[in-house]
Structures are given as C-alpha cells and as structure tokens.
Amino acid sequence: MAVAEQNDVLALEARAVLRDALSVSQAPCVTCSFQAEDMVVLALAREVAPDIPVLFLETGYHFAEVYEYRNAMTARYGLNLVNVVPEETVAAQEAEFGLLYRSAPDQCCKLRKVKPLFGALERYDSWLTGLRRVQSPTRANLQVMDTFPLPSGKRIPKISPLAAWTDREVWQFARDADIPLLPLYDKGYTSIGCEPCTLLPIDATNLRSGRWAGRKLECGIHIAGQ
C-alpha cells in the first residue's frame, strides 16, 4: 500500500474510534502537550467535538517555545484550552523543596503533573490521548481503548486512537492537514517535556531518550496507582 493510502486508512480508523468513543461520552477531554501526535489527535477529535476541553499540564517549567506555540495554536484553532496547574507555584515549590527535578524528579512530576491531572480528570467521563506504542518500551502494550483507574476509585475510559501510528505517519498527517509543528523539533528534539528534563535524544532509536537524562522513562500520568 502506498504511504498516502496507508495514512488515509489510519486516519479513517482513528476517526471511527473517536466517533464511537465520543458518541457515548458526555464530558470528554483530551490531554495535550502540544507535541506532534497530540496535535494530530486533537485535530481528529475536534472534527467530532470542536469544543473538547484541551488539558495542558502547566508545570511552570516548559520551554518558552512551548508556551508560544501553545498560545499560537490556541488562537489559530480557537481551542478550549484548560491549563491544569499544581497546588504550588514553581517559586513556592522551590522555596520548600529546592530543585526537585534534580533531587527527586518523581516527586516533582507527582506534584506538578500527576496529582493535578488526576484531580482534573475527575470532571470528565472520557480521556483522549495521543500516546503511541513506538514512543517507548513502556508504551509497547498500549491499547486503543482502555480504562484508567484514578486514585479516587473512578475508572475513566482512556482512548488512544494513534496507538499504532509511526512517527512518519504522524508527521505526514500533520503535513497533509497543514498543522504547524512545535519549532523545537527543528532543533533536533524528538520528545519534548519540561525544559529542565528535556535534552536532545541520546539514542536515535529511542525518541524519549532525551527525557530525564535516562533517569526515568515516564512522568507517571499514564501509570495507574501513582
């Protein structure tokens, strides 16, 4: 099958997944780090639910380029952006604990990403993501349709329509749909999170190898029981 046809098939399948999922959801949301796959799943989701809440984990530690891009994309597409913020500001957390991203990145992610997101998800009845299996060995068994147990005991449907997509397919879709991508990709970054924890990839075959300098693989928002 030609690349263009393959992409059309993948997009059709993703649209069908999203249509089915959103037809039974009264309060869906999509998490978005404004990386390429999130922009693709967001574009597809907005075909069905134009005002879907777009949850951005506002840790306070993002690259300036990410904030600029988030603002530009929010204006361009009229996104229903929801900044999910931690209990403490960066200044308050650093005054209390120092630079947790150096001394205890798990705790930092828990305070600035995991707890705020799990709290925010209580308001929704389905969670769309741009997760893909090829992103990391930790995502190799990712299911398109899953349920995720929140700490409260609530189980929220978690839908990842791009689970089987390759990088090339994501980039091709973005090109075809005229979605501009985060300029940091042009500088060689392949996975982009908070600035203090994002380096250029160490291993070209592992997109997330520049995250946390190899100290950990996930922030925890996709791991149950955090």
Beta carbons of 17 and 144 less than 8 angstroms apart: yes
Q: Which stretch binds ligand SF4 (CB under 6 A): 21-29, 141-149, 155-163, 188-196?
A: 188-196
CA distances in angstroms from 22 to 55, 56, 190, listed in the order given:
17, 20, 30
Residue 42 lies near ligand SF4 (rule: CB under 6 A): no
| Amino acid at residue number 74 | T
Which residue, 101, 93, 95, 119, is CA-closest to 62? 101
Q: Is 16 helix (H, G, I), strand (E, B) or coil?
A: helix
- Closest separation in Å from C-beta 38 to ligand SF4: 16
Choice from 34, 63, 69, 101 touching ligand SF4 (CB under 6 A): 101
Residue 184 lies near ligand SF4 (rule: CB under 6 A): no
Tell me whether residue 194 is one of the annotated catalytic residues: no
101: left (phi over 0), alpha (psi -120 to 50) or beta: alpha
Beta carbons of 38 and 56 less than 8 angstroms apart: no
Choice from 193, 207, 210, 221 touching ligand SF4 (CB under 6 A): 193
Instruction: Identify which of residues 102 and 175 has a Cβ nearer to ligand SF4 in the complex.
Output: 102
| 67-96 positions binding ligand SF4, by CB under 6 A | none
| 103-132 positions binding ligand SF4, by CB under 6 A | 105, 108-109, 112-113
Residue 196 lies near ligand SF4 (rule: CB under 6 A): yes
Residues with catalytic function: 219
